[in-house]
Structures are given as structure tokens and as C-alpha cells.
Amino acid sequence: MGSLGGVRRVQDAGVRGKTVLVRVDYNVPLRCGEITDDTRIRTSLPTISLLLERGAKAVLVTHLGRPDGKAVDDLRLDSVSSRLSELIERPVEKLDDCVGDEAANRIREGRAGDVFLLENVRFHPGEEANDPGFAAALARPADVFVNDAFATIHRAHASTLGVTDRLPSYAGLLVQRELEALGRVLDEPARPYLAIVGGKKASSKLGPLRDLVSRVDGILVGGGVAFTFLRAMGFSVGDSAVDEGTLDDVVEIAHLAEERGVEIVLPIDAVLARELAPGVEATVGDARSISSGWAGFDIGPETVRDFAQKIERAKTLVWTGPMGAFEVEPFSAGTKGVAEAVAASAAFSVIGGGETGDAIARLGLAEQVSYISTGGGACLAVLQGKRLPALEALRG
């Protein structure tokens, strides 16, 4: 599932003189209308360049933010269009909508080598509903579809799945690169294979954890997820964030891990404070006996050492979710310590995008890990061995 087996590649598509609809992921961070990190735009450039070099007309489609099916001025793509134009050093025409006669006619008037950017596809409720009529309208001006938005490939939306029923469909270069890296982990991982799981909420990690238990040799649990695990195991976690509705599921996963001989490693100590705020007074304490009025916001130094020793012995590593509230001092040391251990490891290491990828980049360690995925949720879904309809539509 994670490998490129059977996936149709953009390199093999006949695109000369064709209009190619390209699903990209330009869900970039904005501050006051300005892009603060253009990494997601840059990752699309190889596929766009390939299409233009081969005489295609490129029509790019993306979402930005969560506009809930209606137009939101702050989530329009004008700044994205400007930045892309700078990066590819040619004009990018941003259209006022992603469907409709005006957009379709303007695209038809274009020539080979032209680049169009459709307006935010999530301004229409038909996108996330995978409405067939909306998918047909998106596909209408195009001859070929290329999916190069790995971060959304686990979504069965109109622009990722619906259009594949109407156009010959191929994987872009970014999607191929992701599948090659993840395939190495999924198909025949070198062992010991260790998963590191963090992040704020246990609820979003339970599905992946349940599936990973059958694939890995050990799981290190940090972040807010750890406190839900500790509570489920009967420990006192004070006022730490706990997903109360998941406790029975956590116990089930722990039992499953025990049956399969998979070690789940929980924090020994934690960085504690009375509230999450920059510069707040903090202390290191027992993660399994936290007093009322105190909460854990990071793993402690003893846990970092424990995790680092286990990371050093691993030959395959997958990490998703920071070890604490790393963006707020004094709660960054746990994520930093684990990141340094992963960077120093000789293992093949995959970082599951999102906040974890951001943390690795901020720490200047991006060049010292094997691969940073562009999609947190998509990365986990592939590593779980899930059948992803938008990905399956590119096979055959």
C-alpha cells in the first residue's frame, strides 16, 4: 500500500498541448495576509516545472484554511498566487472562482505554458462532500488530472477523488517521493522499528496507535497523549489534559500491545506548571503522581534520557506529534531532546509532518533526519496500511 506499486506517474502522462488540473497543497500559514512559510508551495514546484517543460497548461487547485463551504476574504489565494509567481518566475493568473463558465472560458483561452490558480476550493460545500456535480465542474476545463497534494490524499474530496472519475489521473512527483519513503517503512522496515507518538489529543492518535501496535516493536508516548495513557493506567495526572472518553480504548490498546510483545513506554517525569503560559513558573516532577492544581506540559529530562536510549537502538523510526507544548517556553526541552536523539540516530527516520516537522525545522535538524513528510494525517494513514480511495484512484 505504501509503495509506488501500480501508481500511474506524471512522468508517463502525455501532456503536450493538454490542460492539466493539478491538486496541490497550498494550505500555508498566514499572518495579516502574508505567507509566513512557503514550504508547501516550494514542494509543488518540481511537478509544475515538469508539466510546463512538456508543453502543458497547468491549472492548480488547492484549499486554504477551513472556510466551511463559503467564501471568506481572509482565505482567498491572492498572496499565494503572488508568491508562486515569484518562485516560478512567470505570471500566475489567479481566477475568482474554481468552477463556472467564467473560469472555464478563461482557462480555455490560455496557451501551453500558462499557469492558472483556481480560487480556494473549500469555498464550495461540494468539495468536502465530494459532490459529483461539483467534481464534474472542476474537471470540465481539463484533459488530465495530477494529484500532488500528499497532505490531503487521505481525504475523499471532490478535488482529490471525485475528479478521478472524469479524467485520466496520475501521481505528481511529491506524492511519488512520499510513497517511496513511506514504502520503505511500511513494506520491509529494518528492526527494531520504533514509533514515537505525541501531540495534544489522544483521540486523534488512537486509530493509528491501534494499527501501529501490529507493525512496530515499541511505542514511545509523549505530549498530551501520554497523560491520557497514564490516567487510563490508574496514575494521578493532576489537572493535565485528558481525553476522558478514550480511556477504555487506551486500556484496550495497552492490552493488545502486551499480547503482541510491543512495549509502550510512558513518561517517568514531566515538566509541570499551574497554567500554560510563556515564562510561567515550572518544575519537574513525577509524571505518575501529579498533584491537583498542577498539569504536565512536557516530558521531563529523565524521560528524555530514557527515550533517547531506546531511539539509539532503533533501526527504523517514525515520529508524529511533539513531546510537549514546544512553542511555549519552558516546555520545549522534551521535543528538542527527542529531536536531537532522532537526528543522531543511524536509523531510517520518518517525521510525520505537521507540528513535528515544524519543530524539526525550527531546531535546524531537518537535514539530519531521513525524511520529513508533508502530511501528518496522510503519513499516518499510509503507515497504518489503510486503503485510501484518493490514492487507489491513481493505481491501475
The residue annotated as part of the active site, out of 23, 40, 57, 122, is 40
- The yes-or-no answer on residue 40 being catalytic is yes
- The yes-or-no answer on residue 70 being catalytic is no
The residue annotated as part of the active site, out of 8, 18, 166, 201, is 201
In the chain, the largest separation of any two C-alpha atoms, in whole Å, equals: 68
The residue annotated as part of the active site, out of 199, 321, 337, 377, is 377
The residue annotated as part of the active site, out of 223, 334, 353, 354, is 354
- The yes-or-no answer on residue 200 being catalytic is no
- The yes-or-no answer on residue 14 being catalytic is no
Residues with a known catalytic role: 40, 201, 354, 377
